[in-house]
A and B are shown apart, each in its own frame.
Chain A
Amino acid sequence: MTTAPGDLPEDAIRAICAGFGNDRHRMLDILLGVQARQCWISPAAMETIAAATGLTRIAVEGVASFYSFLSLSPKGRVPIRLCDDIVDRFAGLDAVAAAFEAELGIRVGQTTPDGAVSLELTPCIGMCDQAPAAMVGDLVATRLTPDRARALARALRQGLSPTEALVADHDRLSPLARAKAQVEDNIRQAGEVLLGAVPLDAGIAAARAMTPAAIIDAVETSGLRGCGGAGFTTGRKWRLAASAPDDHRVVICNADEGEPGTFKDRVLLTDRADLVIEGMAICARAIGGREGILYLRGEYVYLRDHLQDALAVARARGVLGDGFDIRIQLGAGAYVCGEEGALISSCEGLPGEPKTRPPFPVTRGYLGHPTVVNNVETFAHVARILDRGPDWFRAMGTDKSRGTKLFSVSGDCARPGVYELPWGLTLRELLALAGGEDAAAVQVGGPSGTMVGRDGFDRRLGYEDLATGGAVIVFSPRRNILEIVDYYLSFFVHESCGYCTPCRVGNVFLKKAVEKFRKGQADEADIAYLKELSATIIETSRCGLGMTSPNPVLTSLENLPLVWAAVTRPRKDGLKATFDIQAAIEGGRRIARRRSYIFDRDFSE
């Protein structure tokens, strides 16, 4: 099929391209525009876009095929994307999916015949504290039940828009109120720095009275480290970018909060958008930034209007302007774009593939300019540090982990949500706050982090021991640890960009090896194989995805060894448990229309 009924005329596609200045670096925006209007990226559209932007068609297709929210076959006008995270699965995703399927008369992966609705699965959409959740078009539906799913499906089939179906009184609400009507904040613990009372524009006002060098000194003195997970010292990153020889420097806010189980940036973008924008403006002042980009993950598109409002207000108040402004770059469903090189590629209109390092983004980043990429929370912290002074921030937390941290707690606990706490508390203390004391295991830092068993609950959160970008996922004793590990590997298999072989192929092998354990076919040699393969993937992968993807296997082997030992069986007969002779001869038996003389029982005896 090369055309679909709702396809746009060529002029309309050219107009979308012209709206972005026929700029090939805005390819993702152009494609998202086309996807929104005609529900797929048709071959004809790719030809037109290629001609308008001066690219080859294959280059356009390379981008279009990379992102999971862009589709190369016609999709429904309202795509329903059910969040397929492990937390959602445990919260009843299956029943919700079945309800949608029954009411819509389609299976997951299909589109209704009238082209109204399509149903698919997507990895974590950042709503683990209110699972099961789903994206409905550009909106979000949370705390789904089979009943709610059926009602929603009925409303959509009757022709209601997602907004009409999900948000009451939507036309009287501000974009912020609309966002809040869809998604709860679930702020369980407001700390001193970010979620407590915060004065407006105090940080930028202080920064204006300081020299750029003094701002960087203050950020460095505060001990602030990047809050996305890697924990690079923010002040040093800024200093490197400021000293790179170029007139044009770029400030990027990484709001591609893709690590499953993380949703603290969602809350900051909702309730502290002004603080984040302020932090970016302070960074621009410190490093001489001329251009700002807020990279918003596609799953958070429901916050876009609110953030546009916040940017407009910031311009009106003079936080932005004066040679620095921020645009929103919307992502399109690719976890790997949270990696800074891939994020920059994505902003440049390319497939979201990591870049070779060095050069690091601080010297050659977005379009070759020195670029600072920081997490949402990092920028918000910066604004507060400038307001209250580095010593105030430094006094909180621990030696290597200063200040407070937002923890996104989800899974099997009574009070899932966001907790702002000083670094250095024990996991047990956090579990007590969240009502997850009976946990059997906790995944700290999401799939790429550490799985901790009960005997590790006195470990401290911080860069000294348990580093985390914020995700803390609680698993009760009822959960199957190997199912969780298996799920996380399937997540990495899905999200690997495919550029390098160790990650693209290695993770598939690793998942197969774990499946062997789940089937009870593994022996001691398979444990050694898991470790060896993991080491190879970590050592030879190109970016952080492959360098951390074996972590669910390695950390559960280390911290929950009995779980693995329980399904490991020694073999004495020298035969491989994975080989199933009955399955292997079934096809031959069917074609020959006779039984096996060797492996079928002879009933005549």
Chain B
Amino acid sequence: MTRPRVATVSLAGCFGCHMAFLDMDERLVTLMARVEFDRSPLTDLKTFTRRCDIGIIEGGCCNEENVHTLIEFRRNCDVLIALGQCAIMGGLPAMRNAIMHADDPLRECLEEAYLTGPYLRNLTRHVPNDPALPLILDKVYPCSDIVDIDIQIPGCAPSGDIIFDTLTALLDGTFHGFDRARLRFD
């Protein structure tokens, strides 16, 4: 019997959720014994080698490439997990969505980030616009605005424990939501 395949990706996030993934420490070995990692920063595979059982998304979508990647994950994974607040709600990057009352919010956002912000040192005096850069979206979208998400693991970042327990329960076929006590972060 082949082991279930897992893919992960970081979209508009800080890689903190992937770091939290590593926080499951020696239990990683336990997990590795049960699953095979496909496309993931952990394997450095950039494309899917075959269909996966579980896809784990860190971060929301701030540019077109994020959208493209997210749709690929949806098409190639049976169960899609949004890991952490950025994937679930947009998180910190979504703070730029608050610039909404300007005449041209996107331009104002870019200008503040690269030209007019008080703590900048941008010697080129340009907003980066290399053709290789993906186009920025009008706002930061949570993953569930773009594709169906099956499971959300909350936290910023979620603890290694909750990630390990959720994945284990999923593999055992015993996942029925989170224990309320686990959802407290204070």
Contact between chains at A575 and B146 (CB < 8 Å): yes
B25 at the interface (CB under 8 A from A): no
Chain B nearest CB from A573 CB (Å) reads: 7
Contact between chains at B64 and A596 (CB < 8 Å): yes
A512 at the interface (CB under 8 A from B): no
B27 at the interface (CB under 8 A from A): no
Contact between chains at A598 and B138 (CB < 8 Å): no
Measured CA separation A598–B80 after assembly (Å): 22
Fill in one digit per residue for B124-160: 1 if any A CB lies within 8 Å of its CB, else 0: 0001010101111111010011111000000000000
Which residue of chain A is the closest to B135 with respect to CB atoms? A588
Contact between chains at B138 and A584 (CB < 8 Å): yes
Q: Which residues of B contact A579 (CB under 8 A)?
A: 141, 145-146
Measured CA separation A588–B71 after assembly (Å): 20
Chain B nearest CB from A516 CB (Å) reads: 13
Q: Which of B74, B75, B137, B145 has its CB near the most chain A CB atoms (within 10 A)?
A: B137
B68: contacting residue among A587, A591, A598, CB under 8 A:
A598
Q: Which residues of A contact B134 (CB under 8 A)?
A: 596-598
Contact between chains at B64 and A586 (CB < 8 Å): no
Tell me whether A587 and B148 are in contact in the complex, defined as CB-CB below 8 angstroms, given that A573-B75, A598-B65, A598-B134 are known contacts.
no
Contact between chains at A584 and B148 (CB < 8 Å): no
Tell me whether A584 and B129 are in contact in the complex, defined as CB-CB below 8 angstroms, given that A575-B74, A598-B64 are known contacts.
no
Fill in one digit per residue for A469-501: 1 if any B CB lies within 8 Å of its CB, else 0: 000000000000000000000000000000000
Contact between chains at B148 and A588 (CB < 8 Å): no
Tell me whether A592 and B64 are in contact in the complex, defined as CB-CB below 8 angstroms, given that A584-B141, A586-B138 are known contacts.
no
Interface residues of B in 69-116 (CB under 8 A from A): 71, 74-75, 80, 104, 106-107, 110
Contact between chains at B146 and A587 (CB < 8 Å): no
Contact between chains at A591 and B107 (CB < 8 Å): yes
Tell me whether A592 and B146 are in contact in the complex, defined as CB-CB below 8 angstroms, given that A587-B106, A587-B138 are known contacts.
no
Tell me whether A575 and B135 are in contact in the complex, defined as CB-CB below 8 angstroms, given that A581-B64, A591-B106, A598-B65 are known contacts.
no
A317 at the interface (CB under 8 A from B): no
Chain B nearest CB from A91 CB (Å) reads: 37
Interface size on B, residues (CB 8 A): 29
Fill in one digit per residue for A566-591: 1 if any B CB lies within 8 Å of its CB, else 0: 00000001111011010111111101
B67 at the interface (CB under 8 A from A): yes
Q: Which residues of A contact B74 (CB under 8 A)?
A: 573-575
Measured CA separation A593–B129 after assembly (Å): 9
Contact between chains at A584 and B71 (CB < 8 Å): no
Contact between chains at A599 and B64 (CB < 8 Å): yes
Q: Which residues of B contact A591 (CB under 8 A)?
A: 106-107, 110, 127, 136
Tell me whether A583 and B138 are in contact in the complex, defined as CB-CB below 8 angstroms, given that A574-B148, A591-B110, A598-B64 are known contacts.
yes
Contact between chains at B137 and A575 (CB < 8 Å): no
Measured CA separation A579–B70 after assembly (Å): 13
Q: Which residues of A contact B68 (CB under 8 A)?
A: 598-599
Contact between chains at A585 and B146 (CB < 8 Å): no
Tell me whether A588 and B75 are in contact in the complex, defined as CB-CB below 8 angstroms, given that A579-B145, A594-B131 are known contacts.
no
Interface residues of A in 535-589 (CB under 8 A from B): 573-576, 578-579, 581, 583-589
Chain B nearest CB from A605 CB (Å) reads: 17
Measured CA separation A586–B136 after assembly (Å): 9
Which residue of chain B is the closest to A585 with respect to CB atoms? B135
Contact between chains at B67 and A581 (CB < 8 Å): yes
Contact between chains at B135 and A589 (CB < 8 Å): yes
Q: Which residues of B contact A596 (CB under 8 A)?
A: 64, 134-135
Contact between chains at A585 and B106 (CB < 8 Å): no
Chain A nearest CB from B64 CB (Å) reads: 5
Contact between chains at A588 and B136 (CB < 8 Å): yes
Measured CA separation A531–B131 after assembly (Å): 47
Measured CA separation A579–B145 after assembly (Å): 7
Q: Which residues of B contact A589 (CB under 8 A)?
A: 135
Chain B nearest CB from A81 CB (Å) reads: 29
Q: Which residues of A contact B129 (CB under 8 A)?
A: 592-594
Measured CA separation A260–B29 after assembly (Å): 67
Chain A nearest CB from B24 CB (Å) reads: 28
Q: Which residues of B contact A594 (CB under 8 A)?
A: 129, 131, 135
Q: Which residues of A contact B65 (CB under 8 A)?
A: 598
Which residue of chain A is the closest to B150 with respect to CB atoms? A574
Contact between chains at A584 and B75 (CB < 8 Å): no
Interface residues of A in 19-41 (CB under 8 A from B): none
Q: Which residues of B contact A597 (CB under 8 A)?
A: 131, 134
Measured CA separation A583–B145 after assembly (Å): 14
Q: Which residues of B contact A584 (CB under 8 A)?
A: 64, 67, 137-139, 141
Q: Which residues of A contact B146 (CB under 8 A)?
A: 575-576, 579
Contact between chains at B137 and A588 (CB < 8 Å): yes
Q: Which residues of B contact A593 (CB under 8 A)?
A: 129
Measured CA separation A588–B136 after assembly (Å): 5
Measured CA separation A583–B65 after assembly (Å): 15
Measured CA separation A302–B170 after assembly (Å): 69
Measured CA separation A589–B131 after assembly (Å): 11
Chain A nearest CB from B145 CB (Å) reads: 6
Measured CA separation A573–B141 after assembly (Å): 19
Interface residues of B (CB under 8 A from A): 63-65, 67-68, 71, 74-75, 80, 104, 106-107, 110, 127, 129, 131, 133-139, 141, 144-148
Q: A573-B74, A591-B110 provided; 4 other pairs, C-beta below 8 A?
A: A578-B145, A585-B64, A598-B64, A598-B65
**Interchain Cβ contacts under 8 Å between A and B, 19 examples:** A573-B74, A573-B75, A574-B74, A574-B80, A574-B147, A575-B148, A584-B141, A586-B138, A587-B136, A588-B106, A588-B137, A588-B138, A589-B135, A591-B106, A592-B133, A593-B129, A596-B64, A597-B134, A598-B67
Interface residues of A (CB under 8 A from B): 573-576, 578-579, 581, 583-589, 591-594, 596-599
